[in-house]
Amino acid sequence: MAEPTKDTIYVDVDDEITALIDKVKASNAKVVALVLPKRASVLQSIVNIKLLKRSADNDNKNLVLITTEAGLLPLAGAVGLYVAKTLSSKPEIPPGPNVGSVADVEEMEEDLSMPLENEDEELPNLAASAAGNTPVGVLNDKVPKSINADKAKLADETIELGEEPTTKPLAQDKIKKSDAKIKKDKRIKVPNFDRFRWLLIAGTVVIVGLIVLGYFAFYVWPSAVIQIKTNASTVNTSLNLTLDPQAQSSDISTGDIPAKQVSEQKTFTQTVNTTGQKNEGNTASGQVNLTASDCNGTYTQDGGTFTIPAGTGISYNNMTFITQADTQMGPDKHLFSGNCINYVAASPTNITAQSGGSQYNAQISNATVSGFPEVVANGSASGGTDSIVQVVAQADISAATSKIGSADAATVKQDLINELKGQGLYPIEVTFASGTPQISSNPSVGSASSTVTVTETISYSMFGASQSDLNAALAANIRSQTSSNQNIIGNGLNQNAFRQTGTSGSTDQVSLSTLAVVGPNISVAQIKKASANKTPAEIIAAVKNNPDVTSVTIRLSPFWVNKAPGNTSKITVDIAKPTQSVK
């Protein structure tokens, strides 16, 4: 199949010069028409046009730019590219820019960063301008030296995009003959835009990382610990409190504190394999003769009768048989043994084994009768078969219950603490309690099953009280033991020293024993505020203005920090506990 002589390529606005070169190289035609969009920025540079022209010349192809933009015409004329207004218009080489000499051309090349390779070779744009606008038929003679071997073959080829192109003479006085030979363009190195893009991204990441690191280093990580030693004293406090959900207000004199009880019900399940066995085979049945020897007048004093009711159990060799009907027992007048009266049944009594199994197939001899110690049974039973199945045993229920441990209680306790804190209450953890577990199994004991699931439901509860009420109760106790000029530095509530002493109805009784700290009036909040953005020396000087302060120690972290952070939440004030207590 013959190769096409013409090819039309439509250029996108966003196409880069490398994309255009690839499209021209991919074409199999000798003549390639590039249809340019308006404001095609890729060809606004003479460097890109030269690159495109050189690539076409190396591939033995002739280019025609299809455009009407006046700004592109001088650039196309400078490198000797044909231009046509439409695909059906006549292509022509437009006039190039006015060039006075080779020096001017070299200056233009330097401005465009396009050094020439060989001064002995002719510059394509000057060659085109000096010769006047070369006819289309002669265009194939103006190919680079690298393809001189194919010059004879190209001599007969012309560009056919409609009618034969026309040429316009170019003023020959614009270029001097002495400037006919100039330096040839050196090979242009196309920048590696992908590498530039990755370097730009990497640089951006590094800059952002440094900004984030700086933010953490100077605003998040810095912290300060201010340790203050004073002539403070400790006071032992102890008080009994009644947590009453019905109370409307606290009564410090009686220790009644309004409280709230929160509860949560948890259901736990555990499945285990069953270990019980049951014989569900056919039950044996038979008959027995019942007799009795009454020597103590148990049944009658004068030889009367008595009845053994249906459903009475007959035991023999750890097996139990059940009577199926009432049995009338009467004295045998002919059988006497001293003072004893012998009783016999008028007819044999039907019996059925209590459960299935072949072990009930037996000869029964002198079996005991439940509730009738003088009566014995003799007979036999048969027809029992074996069919052993797994059933739920009580031991299985106990095993599953033991696996439902109290480890989950810690999670429930924390849930109740969080619930109380969410309501603005102080959790009193010692009041945490669990109710009696409600246990059920599925299936029930004795049911045939390979597994059993035990469900345990437990209710948990905890009391909470207002921290202000607790602080008020502690303050009253502490004030009763200290002088009026001492300040309460810490009431010891955070020691969580509660003990449960009892419960009564819906109330709960607890005792609170703590070690309070009293001493000079030092405001932790004011110290934090005054220490923000201050150096250790400035902090020490400010805190030591209080005559009750004996020493101040400042610890800043990390190591590069030389000032306390501006965020007071990053500043910790620790007032050292005294070693002696005052009553």
Domain that holds residue 228: 223-236+489-575
Query: Which residues sit opposite 287 in a β-bridge?
Result: 350, 380
Clarify whether residues 369 and 402 are in a common domain. no
Given a cut of 80, is residue 406 above it in pLDDT?
no
Helices and strands counted in the chain (H then E): 12, 26
Confidence grade of residue 292 (pLDDT, cut at 50, 70, 90): confident
Q: What are phi and psi of 189, to 5 degrees?
A: -90, 120
Task: Say if residues 516 and 235 touch (Cβ distance below 8 Å).
Answer: yes
Of 231-235, 398-402, 414-418, 560-564, the range with the highest mean pLDDT is 414-418
Q: Where are the beta strands (DSSP E) in 217-255?
A: 223-230, 233-244
In the chain, the number of structural domains is 4
Q: What are phi and psi of 285, to 5 degrees?
A: -140, 160
Task: Say if residues 42 and 11 touch (Cβ distance below 8 Å).
Answer: yes
Given a cut of 90, is residue 205 above it in pLDDT?
yes
**283-290 average pLDDT score:** 93
The predicted structure's pLDDT at residue 164: 39
Given a cut of 50, is residue 182 above it in pLDDT?
no
Q: Is 144 helix (H, G, I), strand (E, B) or coil?
A: coil
Q: Is residue 580 part of a domain?
A: no
**465-489 average pLDDT score:** 83
Given a cut of 60, is residue 472 above it in pLDDT?
yes
Clarify whether residues 506 and 564 are in a common domain. yes
Given a cut of 90, is residue 136 above it in pLDDT?
no
Q: Is residue 244 part of a domain?
A: no
Clarify whether residues 416 and 547 are in a common domain. no
Q: Round the average pLDDT of the chain to a whole number and report it.
A: 77
DSSP assignment of 272-341 equals: EE--EEEE-SPPPEEEEEEEEEESS-SS-SSS--EEE-TT-EEEETTEEEEE-S-EEEEEEEEEEETTEE
Of 121-135, 368-382, 478-492, 505-519, the range with the highest mean pLDDT is 368-382
Clarify whether residues 10 and 112 are in a common domain. yes
The predicted structure's pLDDT at residue 142: 42
Confidence grade of residue 259 (pLDDT, cut at 50, 70, 90): very high
Side-chain half-sphere exposure of 390, counting CA atoms within 13 A: 10
Specify the range with the lowest mean pLDDT, choosing from 58-62, 163-167, 186-190, 490-494.
Answer: 163-167
Task: Say if residues 467 and 426 touch (Cβ distance below 8 Å).
Answer: yes
Clarify whether residues 341 and 377 are in a common domain. yes
Given a cut of 50, is residue 466 above it in pLDDT?
yes
Confidence grade of residue 317 (pLDDT, cut at 50, 70, 90): very high
Helix (H) or strand (E) holding 506: none
CA–CA dist 47, 75 (Å, integer): 9
Task: Say if residues 9 and 23 touch (Cβ distance below 8 Å).
Answer: yes
**392-418 average pLDDT score:** 81
Given a cut of 80, is residue 78 above it in pLDDT?
yes
Clarify whether residues 43 and 109 are in a common domain. yes
The predicted structure's pLDDT at residue 171: 39
Confidence grade of residue 217 (pLDDT, cut at 50, 70, 90): confident
Clarify whether residues 321 and 229 are in a common domain. no
Q: Is 438 helix (H, G, I), strand (E, B) or coil?
A: strand
Task: Say if residues 226 and 556 touch (Cβ distance below 8 Å).
Answer: no
Clarify whether residues 399 and 348 are in a common domain. no
Confidence grade of residue 340 (pLDDT, cut at 50, 70, 90): confident
Task: Say if residues 329 and 380 touch (Cβ distance below 8 Å).
Answer: no
Clarify whether residues 382 and 406 are in a common domain. no
Side-chain half-sphere exposure of 518, counting CA atoms within 13 A: 22
Given a cut of 50, is residue 337 above it in pLDDT?
yes
**122-134 average pLDDT score:** 38
Given a cut of 90, is residue 2 above it in pLDDT?
no
CA–CA dist 553, 92 (Å, integer): 90
- Give the residue carrying structure tokens 């014995």: 376
**348-364 average pLDDT score:** 92
Helix (H) or strand (E) holding 573: strand 571-575
Confidence grade of residue 95 (pLDDT, cut at 50, 70, 90): confident
Clarify whether residues 376 and 519 are in a common domain. no
Summarised one tens digit per residue, pLDDT across range 521-542 is 777 888 888 888 889 988 888 8
| Stated pTM of the model | 0.38
Clarify whether residues 396 and 370 are in a common domain. no
The predicted structure's pLDDT at residue 98: 60
Given a cut of 70, is residue 578 above it in pLDDT?
no
CA–CA dist 472, 486 (Å, integer): 16
Given a cut of 80, is residue 238 above it in pLDDT?
yes
The predicted structure's pLDDT at residue 379: 94
CA–CA dist 458, 437 (Å, integer): 5
Say what percent of the chain tops pLDDT 90.
16
Clarify whether residues 511 and 381 are in a common domain. no
Q: Is residue 196 part of a domain?
A: no
Q: Parallel, antiparallel, or unpaired for β 62-66 and 82-84?
A: parallel
- Crossing angle of helices 524-531 and 536-543, in 10° steps, is 150
Summarised one tens digit per residue, pLDDT across range 424-463 is 999 999 999 888 888 888 888 888 888 989 888 888 899 9
The predicted structure's pLDDT at residue 96: 74
CA–CA dist 492, 498 (Å, integer): 11
CA–CA dist 366, 328 (Å, integer): 19
Q: Is residue 17 part of a domain?
A: yes
Q: Is residue 75 part of a domain?
A: yes
Given a cut of 90, is residue 335 above it in pLDDT?
no
CA–CA dist 392, 38 (Å, integer): 89
Task: Say if residues 296 and 341 touch (Cβ distance below 8 Å).
Answer: no
Type of residue found at 579: T
CA–CA dist 407, 426 (Å, integer): 24
Q: Is residue 250 part of a domain?
A: no
Task: Say if residues 317 and 362 touch (Cβ distance below 8 Å).
Answer: yes
Q: Is residue 321 part of a domain?
A: yes
CA–CA dist 527, 562 (Å, integer): 18
**362-388 average pLDDT score:** 91
Q: Is residue 93 part of a domain?
A: yes
Task: Say if residues 370 and 315 touch (Cβ distance below 8 Å).
Answer: yes
Summarised one tens digit per residue, pLDDT across range 538-551 is 888 888 877 668 88
